[in-house]
Amino acid sequence: MNKFWIILSHTYMTRFKTKSFMISTIITLLFVVGATNFQTIMDKFAGDSTDKIAVLDESGELFDPLKKGLESTNEEMELEAFNGSEADAKDAVQAEEYEALITLSLNENGLPEATYFAKTIAEAGEQTAIQQQLQQLKVAVATQQAGIDQAKLAEIYAPVTFNAVALDKSAKTGEELSQARGIVYAMLFLLYITVLVYGQMIAQDVATEKSSRVMEILISSVSPVTQMFAKIIGIALLGLTQIILIVGVAYAMITANQDELTGGVFSYFGIEGASVSLFIYAIVFFTLGYLLYATLAAMLGSLVSRIEDVQQLMMPMMFLIVAAFLIAMYGLNVPDASFVTISSYIPFFSPMLMFLRVGMLDVPVWEVALSLAILIGTIIIFAIIGARVYKGGVLMYGKSNSLKDFKKAMQLSKKD
């Protein structure tokens, strides 16, 4: 057991001190700080200025309703009636006294129309807001001309009352689904990134030691199972360190900027009311998913002796995790689809898909237990086979980038 902790601590500290780990962690933390303070940063650059837009109203009746409607929904825009000719107004826009110029008039049918002048017309958001407000004015004028009652028209355009009621008492409510969706998406994305980054790291770590021939000494003094899982857990603790740092900084920044971050995505991913069992399932499936792919990565890493060959041999594993992630993204919208249900029992997919089903649906306990049993059984089988492949694979040198090398590794493991 002492040898296990020695290899684990060596794996952890060696990777922790690397420049790549330090730089990637710092860049990620800076990104988190920037993302959580994005609105504050943008406000600092934007200042308190608003976009002043000059308006020439040839009709004499469109300016006031347009100003009232537009400024009530767009605080950054200020309309100002221009007293002068159109040429003077265009010169004022060129001199940057105004952001833009709008000329308003009525066509032959008495309906509003407008022309927008600006130094550049790249600001699509501003034009869209003005166009939408003018469209509402046009509807109001047209219905008034047709003698349609405005109150009746508002009633017609009012959103239809639509209530979704689940007859199954155990089914999740809309609020529960929204909370579960946030946790499920976060766990899926975290597992996807963890496997891609740290699975690659495990394989590269094994290949690096093989290239230095230190593996021949280690394999003779430490059992392959001990060595393999010491590396897997060592890399896992490294990843956990990085995740704790990122989550800690994100939580601190979100707490400090809570007023600016209300609504939007933070409401959609609201997880404060989620059940404790969902968090437990997240930890269980994340841990088992990592162990499954990490064991596979250690096996594949033991088959190569050059770091350059790691990427090629890891491609099948990468395809599996990408496929699982894509199916999970599809399943977020239709978690009860038969394809998702069947895939949730496949070991390579179950860490993502069964957790998705648990979070989004009322899944019977026996289904979760069956999926966990298959997943744990697969990990045990991989550990047994992986230990033999690892023991033989670490003694293989030369160009090895084919899955056919499994057989050769198994044969070498029998020669003790």
d(CA 247, CA 21): 16
Report which secondary-structure segment, H or E, holds 57.
strand 51-57
Cα-based angle 169, 170, 176 (whole degrees, multiple of 5): 110
- What is the distance, to the nearest Å, from the Cα of residue 306 to the centroid of all Cα atoms in its chain? 33
Residue finishing a domain among 157, 186, 213: 157
233 and 354 in a common domain: yes
**R_g of the chain, CA atoms, integer Å:** 31
- What is the distance, to the nearest Å, from the Cα of residue 208 to the centroid of all Cα atoms in its chain? 31
207 and 150 in a common domain: no
Q: What domain count does the chain have?
A: 2
C-beta separation of 361 from 168 below 8 A: no
Range of the domain at 86: 51-157
pLDDT tens profile 250-262: 777 777 766 555 4
Q: How confident is the model at residue 366 (pLDDT cuts 50, 70, 90)?
A: very high
Of the listed ranges 88-92, 163-167, 257-261, the least confidently predicted one is 257-261
User: What CATH number corresponds to the domain at position 141?
Assistant: 3.40.190.10
379 and 257 in a common domain: yes
Structural domain contains residue 163: no
61 and 184 in a common domain: no
More confident residue, 306 or 416: 306
191 and 93 in a common domain: no
Backbone phi and psi for residue 281, each to the nearest 5 degrees, phi listed first = -60, -40
> For position 371, what pLDDT does the model report?
92
Structural domain contains residue 25: no
293 and 252 in a common domain: yes
Alpha carbon distances (Å) from 392 to 205, 343, 401, 404: 17, 33, 15, 13
H-assigned helices in 112-223? 124-145, 150-157, 174-211, 215-221
> For position 96, what pLDDT does the model report?
80
Report which secondary-structure segment, H or E, holds 31.
helix 19-36
pTM: 0.65
Structural domain contains residue 91: yes
131 and 55 in a common domain: yes
Structural domain contains residue 30: no
Check whether 381 has a pLDDT greater than 50.
yes
Residue finishing a domain among 157, 191, 215: 157
CA nearest to 103, candidates 62, 141, 140, 72: 62
Backbone phi and psi for residue 71, each to the nearest 5 degrees, phi listed first = -75, -20
> For position 374, what pLDDT does the model report?
94
Of the listed ranges 90-104, 115-129, 354-368, the least confidently predicted one is 115-129
Q: Give the long-range contacts of residues 246-251, CB within 8 A, separation 24 or more.
A: 246/25, 246/28, 246/29, 246/32, 249/29, 249/32, 249/33, 250/32, 250/36
Output DSSP code: residue 161. Answer: P
Check whether 264 has a pLDDT greater than 50.
no
CA nearest to 350, candidates 385, 374, 316: 374
CB neighbours of residue 193 within 10 Å: 14
pLDDT tens profile 313-346: 778 888 888 898 999 888 888 888 888 899 999 9
Structural domain contains residue 233: yes
Structural domain contains residue 370: yes
C-beta separation of 314 from 200 below 8 A: yes
Check whether 71 has a pLDDT greater than 70.
yes
276 and 248 in a common domain: yes
Residue finishing a domain among 157, 183, 203: 157
Using N-to-C axis directions, what is the helix angle for 150-157 and 124-145, rounded to 10°?
A: 130
